[in-house]
Amino acid sequence: MNDLGINQGTSGNASVRVPKGFLVTPSAVPYGAMVPEDMVLMDLEGTVLDGARKPSSEWHIHRAVLAARPNAGAVLHAHPHHATALACLRRDIPAFHYMVAAGGGRDIRCAAYATPSSETLADHVVEALEGRLACLMANHGMLVLGRDLPEALDRALVVENLATQYLLALQVADPTLLDDDEMDRVLELFKTYGAEGG
């Protein structure tokens, strides 16, 4: 994530579903220094089952999302520049481009703000993800789902690209939005392309 520019330092985190619950990245460990043994195994009740390190401070979000979305295999949270800028404006990404459908719906919602690492934030994210595969997080960053980690990473890059394009378009005027019928057609096409992942 750092090499691709969607995180800086130790910001952001990721999890993947496993038979006993989920593996989540540890707190405050630089990505380049992580080894498999650093991952923390937790169950869907929030209990640490294995791991010598503390789980990510945002483990509540990962637990809540994976519990609410049984088809999701991975969750990725990041702080990319443009998606985070929109999140700080508390703006959804509307259907200004057909690729918004990569977020799983007609738009990419911005979850309401709550204190980082809180259960309330986890609840807001689950709500914003209803019927979606991606959301922004007010004054915070973005979060995406995937069938696996590579798909989640790909989706995060698409959302950041959309955020960049949307911000650029807004510098000129409000972009023309695609209507619901057209977005529904695009969403059907995405199913054929295997873009559904949560």
Sign of CA dihedral 19, 25, 26, 32: positive
Question: pTM (2 decimals)?
Answer: 0.94
* Domain membership flag for residue 60: yes
* Domain membership flag for residue 4: no
* Domain membership flag for residue 8: no
Query: What's the domain range around 26?
Result: 13-192
**Each residue's pLDDT tens digit in the chain (198 positions)?**
888 889 888 889 999 999 999 999 999 898 888 999 999 999 999 999 999 999 999 999 999 999 999 999 999 999 999 999 999 999 999 999 999 999 999 999 999 999 999 999 999 999 999 999 999 999 999 999 999 999 999 999 999 999 999 999 999 999 999 999 999 999 999 988 754 444
Catalytic residue among 58, 127, 160, 182: 58
Strands 13-18 vs 74-78: parallel, antiparallel or unpaired: antiparallel
- State how many domains the chain has: 1
* Domain membership flag for residue 91: yes
CATH number at residue 179: 3.40.225.10
* DSSP H helices in the chain: 59-68, 81-88, 119-128, 149-170, 180-192
Per the annotation, the verdict on 58 as an active-site residue is yes
User: What is the spatial distance between Cα 56 and Cα 23, in angstroms, rounded to a whole number?
Assistant: 10
